[in-house]
């Protein structure tokens, strides 16, 4: 019973990051003309996750900024929603609106709390890094961990931060933040703010039911990238009006998070930045600024790693000597192994295969707007990345493909979630007509 109450408390604490610092009820900052904005909530999420990224690098005890985080965000929440702009009725409507979000989060959290078994990478990489922060060490101390170079630290920091935030300080409370990110991102792409509440909830439950397995939340980091790719994919659908700059800015901030989750995050982030540059709805000036902004974020990561004397090459199996000695026979040998697994795991992932089928259908019918064009580019770059990741790696190809292909397909499939939902939503509208 105590743990159940703390799961409920964790939801409340996690929800602070979607309600501040921007007031989701303030019509002056709404992108859309609704009572409240899930767009604003998603902006808060990305912004606060970036703030936690900056905090994770500071040489400060976790115990100290845990307390300060709660105190500061509670004060901001009270000021925004009770003192500055008291709209209790709208606030109540918002929490009623996300009630199904809470129910699904609670059910998944109970399952996570009951399993507790960690994934292989989580046991040997991610949780050990989390323990560094839990034991009041900091980012600089991670270089003492022999396997630190393999993966960035951000997912581990979230794990430590939120597990230490709860009174019971149990390990799995940190992983419940992964559950929250996943549930919110799916909830966000399933709803058009306050419109079609019932249908949005049905789709939300369906998507979660299709996607959820405990293994996704066993401490592995793929679910984090999947969640943000799903969220950012909806942003790309909004690149068609004068508010482009809002979405572009937060796309880039979202990319910044992705590059700190896993080594391959840089590939996904770079693809998204390329999509911005390929969009017809964005001016060349904004494209240049966006690319420069992203470049400086990459440079910032490089400087941080150099300052703390850490190895930035998270994947030592990629080296120029091996790549330069690749020949046609080796490449074809690897392709013969890659293609069957790509096909097998591709058709086994509902979003990957549905995204492919939808893209084929729309392209054949020549129903290609700016958003579909960008998804086309994403698919091409996604496939190229998968092939390059395996062909260029100096590692036993059969074992590597067998153990990682499913996770790579799942991670990248996050970008097809909104495409799939939007396609069937439009089909339903046309049918009703």
Helix (H, G, I), strand (E, B) or coil at 195: strand
Bridge-partner residues for 195, per DSSP? 192
CA angle 288, 414, 56 (to 5 degrees): 70
Q: 196-219: per-residue pLDDT in tens?
A: 688 889 999 999 999 999 999 999
Structure tokens belonging to residue 146: 């022999």
pLDDT grade, residue 35 (50/70/90)?
very low
List, for residues 170-185, the tens digit of each pLDDT value.
Answer: 899 999 999 999 999 9
pTM, full prediction = 0.94
Question: Integer distance in angstroms from the first to the last C-alpha of the chain?
Answer: 50
Distance CA 73, CA 90 (A): 20
Q: How confident is the model at residue 16, as a pLDDT?
A: 93
Assigned token pair, 116: 């507790």
- Please state, in angstroms and rounded to a whole number, the distance separating the CA atoms of residues 386 and 126: 23
Please tell me the distance from the alpha carbon of residue 335 to that of residue 311, in angstroms, as a whole number.
30
| φ/ψ (deg, to 5) at 192 | -100, 70
Angle at 388 between CA 382 and CA 394, to 5 degrees: 145
pLDDT digits (tens, 9 = 90+) for 327-380: 788 888 889 999 999 999 999 999 999 999 999 999 998 888 889 999 999 999
Q: What are the backbone dihedrals phi and psi of residue 195, each rounded to the nearest 5 degrees, phi first? A: -85, 150
150's tokens: 């393999």
Of 138, 220, 210, the closest CA to residue 175 belongs to 220
Could you state, in order of their start, the residue ranges of all structural domains in the chain? 2-27+34-234, 320-433
CB–CB of 38/193 below 8 Å? Answer: yes
């Amino acid at each position: 019973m105590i743990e159940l109450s703390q799961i409920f408390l964790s939801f409340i604490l996690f929800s602070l990051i979607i309600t501040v610092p921007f007031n989701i009820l303030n019509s002056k900052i709404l992108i859309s003309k609704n009572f409240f904005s899930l767009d604003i909530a998603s902006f808060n999420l990305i912004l606060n996750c970036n703030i936690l990224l900056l905090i994770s690098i500071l040489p400060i005890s976790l115990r100290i900024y845990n307390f300060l985080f709660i105190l500061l965000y509670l004060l901001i929440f009270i000021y925004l929603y009770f003192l500055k702009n008291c709209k209790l009725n709208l606030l109540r409507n918002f929490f009623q609106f996300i009630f199904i979000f809470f129910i699904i989060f609670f059910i998944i959290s109970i399952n996570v709390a009951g399993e507790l078994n960690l994934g292989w990478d989580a046991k040997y990489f991610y949780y050990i890094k989390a323990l560094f922060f839990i034991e009041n060490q900091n980012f600089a101390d991670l270089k003492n961990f022999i396997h630190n170079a393999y993966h960035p630290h951000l997912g581990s920091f979230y794990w430590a931060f939120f597990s230490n935030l709860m009174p019971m300080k149990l390990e799995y409370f940190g992983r419940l933040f992964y559950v929250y990110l996943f549930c919110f991102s799916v909830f966000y792409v399933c709803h058009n703010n306050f419109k079609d509440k019932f249908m949005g909830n049905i789709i939300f439950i369906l998507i979660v039911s299709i996607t959820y397995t405990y293994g996704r939340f066993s401490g592995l980091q793929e679910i984090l990238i999947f969640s943000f790719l799903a969220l950012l994919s909806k942003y790309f659908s909004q690149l068609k009006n004068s508010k482009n700059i809002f979405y572009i800015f937060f796309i880039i901030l979202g990319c910044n998070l992705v590059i700190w989750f896993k080594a391959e995050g840089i590939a996904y982030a770079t693809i998204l930045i390329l999509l911005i540059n390929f969009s017809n709805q964005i001016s060349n000036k904004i494209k240049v600024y966006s690319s420069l902004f992203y470049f400086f974020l990459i440079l910032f990561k490089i400087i941080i790693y150099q300052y703390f004397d850490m190895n930035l090459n998270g994947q030592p199996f990629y080296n120029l000597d091996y790549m330069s000695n690749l020949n046609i026979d080796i490449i074809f040998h690897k392709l013969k192994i890659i293609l069957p697994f790509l096909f097998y795991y591709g058709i086994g992932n509902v979003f990957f295969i549905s995204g492919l089928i939808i893209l084929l259908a729309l392209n054949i019918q020549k129903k290609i707007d700016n958003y579909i064009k960008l998804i086309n580019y994403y698919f091409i770059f996604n496939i190229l990345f998968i092939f390059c990741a395996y062909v260029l790696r100096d590692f036993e190809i059969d074992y590597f493909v067998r153990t990682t292909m499913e996770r790579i397909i799942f991670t990248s499939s996050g970008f097809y979630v909104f495409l799939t939902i939007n396609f069937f939503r439009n089909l339903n509208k046309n049918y009703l007509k």
